[in-house]
A and B are shown apart, each in its own frame.
Chain A
């Protein structure tokens, strides 16, 4: 065994599930560049897999398959966007002169993906950022379907806090919550049907830092940390 005992134990605990969020994230990142650790994790997955296979079945809600199928069409041509954005981020940081340049560059990257699907009209993206070189989330909006998703690029809320997304438009008065967003994963499609398409297109989108689980009273607790506007990328 070429792996140190400590890493062997770490791999075992990663698979068992007893590591905390930070340790899990660190192991997940390390396994990408450490083949021995990755192999140790795979071996532990194989060792413990029979427990999952032997678990008594629990049937999911009957409508779940329809929801999955609805996402396949959209998900199919999308390469792992987050990794594309993250990989290009460093380069853009060095070259982008301002927010507009960076946003345009990100939109262009998204546009390449979206343009592969000419049948889907009214696609927009928003890059939610703190400053010109700090994009945190990329939002994609389909105005026709009245749906949006949020993709994290480089944001992590402090321990015990959550990021919450808001739609802000003069017509709406106060900011309206679009829900708590995940800094680790692409959000599932969420509905925007409560809002008029013209409001959706013109609105400002903002992310605030809230207590874990979201704002307790339905209003932002502080100033936005990241903001952005929609940019059309679809036909």
Chain B
């Protein structure tokens, strides 16, 4: 087992246009970014979107601010935003073939994760588990699968406006829980 690379250090080198560091950053993170994107665009253009995300990461690495979050979170946000734009632009995501319920991993086993990140995950998990199961499932389907309000309305047999209200209440509850 090799030591996990220091992503923050790699980001600094990538910002200085170091190609070797970029290759290492890609090796260390591409399975995460691809996982996030391919769940939102199943059978779609996940490769294209991930490719665009890494080009952007290369160009914008100097914008990364370690004080604002982890390098992986920054990279994932770039890829996820692009995937969501793509999902909203093309046909609506069908939730027909989605699994019933979303079980969250009890803990996060990842050699890249620092203690800090594991704690952040544990806190989020605790707060998600405090939501009603159906509301939690909505949040999970939206975050992981890119489900729109309309798709959730169909799946949960509720008007779109009601789904919006539920989502906003759940998110507000989540925010309160995380800040407590």
Residues on A facing B (Cβ under 8 Å)? 8-9, 12-13, 16-21, 24, 42, 44-61, 64-65, 67-69, 71-72, 75-76, 182, 184-185, 188, 212-213
Q: Complex formed: what's the CA distance from A20 to B88 in Å?
A: 6
Given contacts A20-B148, A60-B50, contact A52 B139 (CB under 8 A): no
Given contacts A12-B175, A21-B89, contact A55 B55 (CB under 8 A): no
Closest to A74 in B: B55
Given contacts A16-B139, A24-B85, A48-B124, contact A68 B54 (CB under 8 A): yes
Which residues of chain B come closer than 8 Å to A55, judged between CB atoms? 32, 35-36, 39, 144
Q: Complex formed: what's the CA distance from A76 to B16 in Å?
A: 12
Given contacts A45-B73, A53-B117, A184-B89, contact A64 B55 (CB under 8 A): no
Interface size class for chain B?
35 or more
Cβ A60 vs Cβ B143 within 8 A:
no
Mark B11-38 against chain A: 1 for CB-CB distance below 8 A, else 0.
0000001010011001000111111101
Cβ A18 vs Cβ B152 within 8 A:
yes
Given contacts A58-B31, A59-B31, A64-B47, contact A75 B59 (CB under 8 A): yes
Cβ A53 vs Cβ B113 within 8 A:
yes
Secondary structure at the A interface, as helix, strand, loop or mixed, is helix
Secondary structure at the B interface, as helix, strand, loop or mixed, is helix
Pairs of residues from A and B, 10 with the lowest C-beta to C-beta distance, nearest first: A57-B31, A49-B73, A50-B121, A54-B108, A58-B35, A60-B34, A12-B171, A21-B88, A9-B168, A52-B76
Q: How far is the CB of A24 from chain B (nearest CB, A)?
A: 6
Q: Complex formed: what's the CA distance from A21 to B91 in Å?
A: 11
Which residues of chain B come closer than 8 Å to A185, judged between CB atoms? 52, 82, 85
Residues on B facing A (Cβ under 8 Å)? 17, 19, 22-23, 26, 30-36, 38-40, 46-48, 50-52, 54-55, 58-59, 68-70, 72-73, 76-77, 80, 82, 84-85, 87-91, 104-105, 108, 110, 113, 117, 120-121, 124-125, 139, 142-144, 146-150, 152, 164, 167-168, 171-172, 174-175, 178
Cβ B69 vs Cβ A48 within 8 A:
no
Which residues of chain A come closer than 8 Å to B54, judged between CB atoms? 68
